[in-house]
Structure 1
Amino acid sequence: MANLKINPSRLKGEVKIPPSKSMAHRAIICAALSEGLSIIENIDYSDDIIATIDAMKSLGATIVRYKDHLEVIGVYGVPKKAKDFRIIDCNESGSTLRFLVPISLLFSGSSKFIGKGNLGKRPLTTYYNIFDNQGIEYSYEEGNLNLIINGKLKPGVFEVEGNVSSQFITGLLFTLPLLNGDSKIIITTEMESKGYIDLTLRAMSDFGVEIINNNYREFIIKGNQKYNARNYRVEGDYSQAAFFLCADALGNDVLCQDLDLNSLQGDKEVIDILERMNVVFNSKDTDVKGIINGELIATIIDGSQCPDIIPVLTAVAALSKGTTEIINASRLRIKECDRLAAVTSELNKLGAKIIEKEDGLLVTGVEKLKGNVEVWSHKDHRIAMTLAIASTRCEEPIVIKDYECIAKSYPRFFDDFRTLGGDIHEWNVGK
């Protein structure tokens, strides 16, 4: 267990935002399903991305890692084949798991999916229903990720709920164009996280695969398509930029670099939400910085399309005038931890006034946070980073337990935090 002591300080300077984890997952998969050599630039080797790299290698792709780029020879471009039995270690990456389950069914033999943390608690019923309908053999262990599947996916009509996780839909979108017949995905409920589907369709199109999107109600997929190898640069990640854009909202002075203002990332909504809360953004080329226009004010935040940025927005809401209501955020309960419970518990320790609801939060703003307390990341990267940003408005130091979980998505977060003036120290409690 690693703990970090943070003395309150104002952040100031420039930070190059890490490449988008969402787009990196997608680019690696598309390249690995192609017939030739792709070079993927601007890669950050977080635990989740390493999981997807290793997963695609287990299916037969050749992937060579360099400092900031990958060379990928796709599974259909070389005689190397996936083993008849392969173990796919997803670590704690929900994206890797849900993207790779249907992809693995392109290949003969069996796949065993393993992982750790809360990954085994994330629902996979959507896929189990498909397995049952298509006669695909599978076994799993309740509460732990120990899923074994054997069979090949067949083209057809797939009915999928849109309010569980867009990752199921993305996994099918990646896979179905490679089958020897046409398919259709029918969405049976209101679609959440549409932005992630947009990212999937954009990446697939960039690699030469086209899908018809009928207003997120159904997706028409021609079979017998091929992914084309290409060179690809991963854009900056708005879900990580959100931490420093929210730091600006809290009175810090951070310029975020390498952000595409025309990005399709759903988490780009952080800018719209903060603007409603009285933050003005200045941008030039790919540089973005926020400035408070007077005082922060409460708003209503819909978490259905941007769940990953809700924890850090809660920290901003905790210091805004009035009561902010966060709605449609029940999916945060099945992330790396129950994020609604975790952010409520830990920010309230700092003096916030947050009431937890079944599918959201009520956040009544306070003028400042206290500190002089030990808080816990719940071993969730987004909770750890949220608490670090909140520390900049604390009156006294805080200690974050289990801070090293940031390696899941943003390994150098605390390096950047320190470079910006963050006063941080490794801390052994009780010594």
Structure 2
Amino acid sequence: MADPPALPRAVPWAGLVLTALLVSLAFVLPHQFGWEVASRAPRNASPDEVPPLHGLWRPKLFGPGTLPALALALLGWLYAADLARLPWRRLLVTSYAGSLAWLLSLAFVDGKSGISRVLGNPYEYLVTAREVDSVPHLLDTYISRIPYAADDNWPTHVAGHPPATLLFFVGLVKVGLGGDFAAGTVVTVLAATTVVAVLVTLRALDAEQWARRAAPFLVLTPAAVFMAVSADALIGAVVAWGLACLALATRRLSWAVPAGLLLGTSVLMSYGMPLMGLVALAVLLAARSWSPLPVAGTVALGVVLAFAALGFAWWDAYPVLRERYWDGIAADRPQSYWWYGDLACLAISAGPLLGSGVLVAAASAVTSARRSARTVLLLAGAAVAVVALADASGMSKAEVERIWLPFVPWLTLSFALLPKRWRRWGLGLQVAAALVVQHLFYTAW
């Protein structure tokens, strides 16, 4: 497939410069002017804080995963074009293997603790999951334990999500995979499937060539730094597979049932996932088929209503969650900083090409290129809209390097629109950024 009609050379350069400027300002301004932006809760305060990241300044030159990560980065950069030319099934298998290896090697820069330390944190899920002995009781009392004022209030991450995320970890505990390292490994293995789901989505929408162009960027994403062991990456995988099934449902309607199950479940894993409905609509618009919508929508609604019948009504929980959110550290996080601080975190997670991809997509949308790149423009454009809404909501101030992980793969599709030369050296820039972030910061995920 030939490149779309050429855009002015300044477009991707402008995006790269704007991304660098955004990230630089987000790091420099709080330090330069002594702003207190509360990137970390008081209980985790540290002189090594580096807003806008939730992490800490902890440079390390070498770790157990450094050499494997460097080798993967070099091989990926050298052979990206060969990856894109593989037969389809081999492309999917290789992409998954590469993604998993990339996630694990970056996590192991911190040694075994890079997999185990996060989920073992008492503010995460596993400690609570190990204490659950009755799922019906859990669901029936879930909302009452969200407020800070509750005597037995949930830990931060449990309170901040609907119960399906916690139930996933309860399931791991019940089958003997509830150890810190075992659970972290399971989450990482599942998170790595996201790349396959996105590629399947594109092919089902008759955009296989765009999938091939995007594959190296999806595999070697800087978001891998935050994806390994992150529950938000797990949520991203669930919603990505839901969208893949929805795309397949435009060809065979029976796929609408798993699409609805997965998308409905994602809503019960994260309060932000209803926003991904915009990407779901983009999938149907790209396919020029609305036939899966009634079935998938009914099944998704059925999942939500089933949880409501068992005691957890999403619409009752969200206002309570908002109250807890504003009773906590969110009240100390100035929106005047975090509206762009969040975007800087997103750029660190998605990589330095984010601005270039988005600007090229925007420029392509108003030129003749929009016809050949219609599917990518719809999906990436919907993801941009999702980010804009999430940012404007004020419900994601800080920590979005992980919270917005479900949005990153769909934004990454815009990189496929970059000129061929940009895709070549841009992939090198992406992997270099991932290595730098992993080795300079303790990312907390």
Normalising TM by the smaller chain, what interval? 0.3 to 0.5
Higher strand residue share: 1
RCO higher in structure (CA 8 A, sep ≥6): 2
TM value normalised by structure 2:
0.31
Higher helix residue share: 2
